[in-house]
Amino acid sequence: MTPATPVAGRDRLRIAIQKSGRLAEPARALLASCGLSWRESRDRLFCYGESLPIDLLLVRDDDIPGLIAEGVCDLGIVGRNVLCEQDLSGKVNGSGARFRELQPLGFGGCRLAVAVPDSWTWRDASQLAGKRIATSYPQLLSKWLAEQGIEAQVVLLSGSVEIAPRLGQADAICDLVSSGATLAANQLKPVLTLFESEAVLAGPAAELEDVRGELMELLLRRLDGALRIRRSKLLMFQAPRELLPTLLPLLPDAEAPTVMLIDGEERLALQALCHGALTWQRLEELKRAGARGLMVLPVEGLLA
């Protein structure tokens, strides 16, 4: 590969995101929550930044690391799986890493898993020896097989990996699993997880020097705030006053809870900013411990 030539005189930041697919909408929503807005081109491949000189390029996710490496785009939102796969193949063919993960983004969670036909009785990984495994992630799979000391044949497919066993092209597959619906629909079951993934912000290996470096810093700061707000929720409930010592340990992620005494000081009303996930399970636990009128509210803004 030829060395990247910096695009001279570009004074706008360009971010590559997936045009359609799992990460497309959440990526745009996250950037919009950082105060970015755009005017979309008629061919829907380019979004011109209106609120800030930050434009979007809508592309195939697999193209994003390459676009960053070549300097066509300055940043990208892509699955860690794609980034790591292409990083490994860059190492193998000697072109080296010219992009890196800057920030995990907390959405698009999935895992790279080996899946086998439902009819297999699964015991352990040694059953993969001598088998053909279809995947779009040959580097990650080969690395894992080598680490496990398993000799298997890697069958490279660029898409529709899940139908390979039925077509007789492979015995097993190694693919991304999110909800698991694709595997189930193809009579496959996941048996091993190789790699946990989520959407990440990717950028060039080297710092951006010009005005784009400043724009990138601004965006990273806003992203940090936007991600923090997303994780934060306001939790409110009431409970008998004497239950406070039982309830507080259930809120380890709460920031300085506000407790007010109500009903002639018999009961308490508590409100707390929680930074961890307030799952149904946690709410049920609080209810069992005596909390009533539980309410979880989104946070629109945070200023310490």
- Least distance from C-beta 215 to ligand PRP, angstroms? 28
User: What is the token pair recorded at 213?
Assistant: 């470096």
**182 contact choice in Zn ion, ligand PRP, none (CB below 5 to 8 Å, kind-dependent):** ligand PRP
User: What is the token pair recorded at 113?
Assistant: 């898993």
Rounded to an integer, what distance in angstroms lies between the CA atom of residue 14 and that of residue 36? Answer: 12
Rounded to an integer, what distance in angstroms lies between the CA atom of residue 129 and that of residue 190? Answer: 17
Residue that is written with structure tokens 């072109």 in the block: 95
The residue of the chain with the least Cβ separation from Zn ion equals 61
Residue that is written with structure tokens 């806003």 in the block: 222
Q: Which of residues 206-265 bind ligand PRP (CB under 6 A)?
A: none
The rounded radius of gyration (Å) of the Cα atoms in the chain is 24
**22 contact choice in ligand PRP, Zn ion, none (CB below 5 to 8 Å, kind-dependent):** ligand PRP
Contacts of 140 (CB under 8 A, 6+ apart): 81, 84, 85, 88, 112, 174, 194, 195
Q: Which of residues 152-191 bind ligand PRP (CB under 6 A)?
A: 175-182
Say how many C-beta atoms besides its own lie within 10 A of residue 239's C-beta: 22
What x/- string results for residues 164 through 183 when contact with Zn ion is judged by CB under 5 A?
--------------------
Rounded to an integer, what distance in angstroms lies between the CA atom of residue 81 and that of residue 92? Answer: 17
Closest by Cα among 259, 281, 257, 277 to 268: 259
- Least distance from C-beta 198 to ligand PRP, angstroms? 12
Residue that is written with structure tokens 């990984």 in the block: 125
**Coil, strand or helix at 91:** helix
- 267 phi/psi in degrees, rounded to 5: -120, 165
- Least distance from C-beta 96 to ligand PRP, angstroms? 25
Q: Which of residues 55-114 bind ligand PRP (CB under 6 A)?
A: 61
- Least distance from C-beta 112 to Zn ion, angstroms? 13
Q: Of 44-52, 54-62, 126-134, 251-259, which part binds Zn ion (CB under 5 A)?
A: 54-62
Give the interface size with Zn ion as a residue count (CB under 5 A): 2
- Least distance from C-beta 170 to Zn ion, angstroms? 19
- Least distance from C-beta 11 to Zn ion, angstroms? 31
Q: Does 19 bind ligand PRP (CB under 6 A)?
A: no
Residue from 55, 61, 63, 175 touching Zn ion (CB under 5 A): that is: 61
Q: How far apart are the first and last CA of the chain?
A: 48
Rounded to an integer, what distance in angstroms lies between the CA atom of residue 300 and that of residue 281? Answer: 24
Residue from 6, 21, 130, 213 touching ligand PRP (CB under 6 A): that is: 21
Give the interface size with ligand PRP as a residue count (CB under 6 A): 11
Rounded to an integer, what distance in angstroms lies between the CA atom of residue 91 and that of residue 294? Answer: 52
**177 contact choice in Zn ion, ligand PRP, none (CB below 5 to 8 Å, kind-dependent):** ligand PRP
Residues near Zn ion (CB under 5 A) are: 61-62
Residues near ligand PRP (CB under 6 A) are: 21-22, 61, 175-182
